[in-house]
């Protein structure tokens, strides 16, 4: 585990904005800065921590964790389906093939859980047994494993994702039936591989999302990220059965505490200026991302040499201009 001193010394050296690279086709997402290089994209995963549609803080090494966890999983699953990775020129950056991305997110769930109004558990506990075309048995309890993983797809939207059934995906022309069948089978296979690898490292892959599209040759391709701490839910496997039997929530490496701090100390949706996140909380969040990296990959986290991350990134990707 990385010495906390290294995290503390890096609090003021986070990568928060890649636009000064000056590469073409810049656009900013919540966490990623993307450059359109023609037939390829440069995806820069920053250290921004986002919630409430705002940036709450800059977390040392968060971008590196997310980018390198994705790289790990893309490599681990390359025999299942193609992915968009061309190279990883920097700890925070991926050079990717451009694809025609389906306007659908493939949400795969292995467990009956969640707390939001649209979560599987909320719907199930209110009496629903048909969730996005999946027929669930009676008598299940919260956090129980499904007999087999299910897919609960959503439409992709900048404002609000909408749950949808496979039949609706085809009838609306979002995908052909053949495309849906191929992509959904790939999603389940990816989840199966993720489940097996996570289990070897003491984790349960609870649920996750995949984005897929077609490359220039029409080949199904996984894009965006895969099995990261931001796109997936992980539980600690050692205590799962005991806590389930006791009706307690599973153990996890929770990253929600920073979001809760803002909710308790301001109105994060409406206040024009947010308070600065306490340094000790940001340090703790960084440590938790690093711990997840090491548990997910089974490898020690190696930070880059001290220095300006933007200059390091500029040196690594400057030849792409």
Q: pLDDT tens across 225-234, in order?
A: 999 999 999 9
Can you tell me the distance from the alpha carbon of 228 to that of 222, in angstroms, rounded to the nearest whole number?
A: 14
Output the CA–CA distances (angstroms, integers) from residue 297 to 7, 32, 228, 290, in the order listed.
Answer: 20, 22, 10, 11
Q: Is residue 192 very low, low, confident or very high in pLDDT (cuts 50, 70, 90)?
A: very high
Band the pLDDT of 160: cuts 50, 70, 90. Answer: low
> Which residue ranges make up each domain of the chain?
4-98+254-320, 100-111+141-245
Residue 256 confidence (pLDDT): 87
Spatial separation of the C-alpha atoms in residues 67 and 92, rounded to whole Å = 6
Q: CA-to-CA distance for 175 and 70, rounded, in angstroms?
A: 25
Q: What is the pLDDT of residue 71?
A: 98
The Cα 44–Cα 91 span in angstroms is: 9
* Of the candidate ranges 112-126, 183-197, 199-213, the one whose mean pLDDT is the lowest: 112-126
Tell me the C-alpha to C-alpha distance, in Å, between residue 138 and each of 115, 150, 296: 19, 16, 33
Task: Determine which helix (DSSP H) or strand (DSSP E) holds 204, and give its type and residue range.
Answer: strand 203-214
pLDDT tens per residue, range 275-299: 999 999 999 999 999 999 999 999 9
Note the CATH number of domain 100-111+141-245.
3.30.470.20
Q: Identify the band that residue 309 occupies on the pLDDT scale cut at 50, 70 and 90.
A: very high
Which pLDDT belongs to residue 321? Answer: 57
When pLDDT is averaged across residues 57-79 and rounded to a whole number, the result is 98
Is beta strand 32-36 parallel, antiparallel or unpaired with respect to 26-28? antiparallel
- Residue with structure tokens 């037939």? 39
Whether the per-residue pLDDT at 78 is higher than 70: the answer is yes
Residue 158 has pLDDT above 70, yes or no: no
Q: What is the pTM of this model?
A: 0.94
Q: Find out if CATH 3.30.200.20 is the number for domain 4-98+254-320.
A: yes
Q: Is the dihedral of CA 283, 293, 207, 199 positive or negative?
A: negative
| Rounded-to-integer distance, Cα 90 and Cα 290, Å | 17
pLDDT more than 90, % of the chain: 87
Q: Give me the count of residues in the chain.
A: 321
205 by DSSP, 3-state: which? strand
pLDDT at residue 10 in the model: 94
Q: Which residue has the higher pLDDT, 160 or 76?
A: 76
User: Looking at the predicted structure, is the pLDDT value of residue 194 above 70?
Assistant: yes
What does the alpha-carbon distance between residue 280 and residue 135 come to, in Å, rounded to a whole number? 45
Separate counts of helices (H) and strands (E) for the chain = 9, 17
CA-derived radius of gyration, the chain: 20
At residue 159, the pLDDT reads 60
Please give the mean pLDDT across all residues of the chain. Answer: 94
Q: What's the pLDDT tens digit per position in 221-265?
A: 999 999 999 999 999 999 999 999 999 999 999 888 998 899 999
Confidence tier at 33 by pLDDT (50, 70, 90): very high
Give the per-residue pLDDT at 53. Answer: 86
Greatest Cα pair distance, the chain, in angstroms, is 59
Domain 4-98+254-320 shares a fold with domain 100-111+141-245:
no
Question: Is pLDDT above 60 for 126?
Answer: yes
Contact 307, 77 (CB under 8 A): no
Q: What is the pLDDT of residues 104-125, one digit of tens each?
A: 999 999 999 988 777 899 999 9
Residues 6 or more apart whose Cβ sits within 8 Å of residue 185 = none
**Which tokens in the block code for residue 232?**
């997936």
Burial of 212 (0-12, 13-18, 19+ CB in 10 A): buried
Q: Please give the average per-residue pLDDT across 42-63, as a whole number.
A: 94
The pLDDT of residue 116 is: 78
Give me 7's structure tokens. Answer: 């995290």
Centre a 10 Å sphere on the Cβ of residue 214 and count the other Cβ atoms it contains. Answer: 16
Q: Give CA–CA dist 321/302, Å, rounded.
A: 28
Structure tokens at 247: 């009706």
User: How far lies 279's CA from each of 7, 50, 253, 276, 304, in Å?
Assistant: 10, 16, 19, 9, 21
Q: Rounded mean pLDDT of 62-77?
A: 98
pLDDT at 89 over 70: yes
């Amino acid at each position: 585990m990385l010495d906390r001193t290294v995290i503390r010394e890096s609090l003021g050296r986070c990568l928060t904005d890649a636009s000064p690279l000056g590469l073409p086709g810049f656009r900013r997402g919540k966490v990623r800065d993307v450059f359109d290089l023609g037939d390829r994209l440069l995806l820069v995963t920053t250290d921004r921590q986002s919630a409430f549609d705002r940036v709450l803080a800059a977390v040392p090494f968060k971008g590196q964790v997310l980018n390198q966890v994705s790289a790990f999983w893309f490599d681990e699953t390359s025999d299942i389906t193609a992915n968009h990775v061309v190279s990883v020129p920097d700890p925070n950056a991926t050079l990717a093939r451009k694809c025609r991305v389906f306007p659908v997110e493939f949400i795969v769930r292995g467990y009956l859980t969640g707390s939001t109004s649209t979560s599987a558990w909320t719907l199930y506990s209110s009496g629903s047994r048909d969730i996005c075309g999946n027929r669930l048995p009676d008598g299940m309890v919260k956090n129980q494993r499904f007999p087999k993983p299910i897919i609960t797809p959503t439409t992709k939207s900048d404002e609000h994702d909408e749950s949808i059934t496979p039949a609706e995906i085809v009838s609306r022309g979002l995908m052909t039936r053949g495309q849906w069948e191929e992509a959904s089978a790939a999603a389940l296979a990816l989840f199966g591989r993720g489940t097996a690898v996570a289990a070897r490292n003491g984790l349960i892959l609870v649920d996750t999302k995949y984005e897929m599209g077609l490359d220039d040759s029409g080949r199904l391709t996984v894009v965006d990220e895969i099995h990261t701490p931001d796109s997936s839910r992980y539980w600690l496997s050692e205590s799962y059965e005991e806590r389930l039997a006791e009706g307690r929530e599973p153990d996890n490496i929770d990253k929600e505490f920073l979001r809760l701090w803002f909710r308790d100390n301001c109105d994060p949706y409406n206040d024009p200026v947010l308070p600065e996140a306490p340094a000790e909380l940001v340090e703790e969040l960084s440590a938790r991302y690093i711990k997840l990296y090491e548990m997910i990959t089974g490898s020690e986290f190696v930070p880059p040499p001290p220095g300006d991350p933007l200059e390091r990134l500029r040196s690594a990707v400057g030849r792409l201009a």
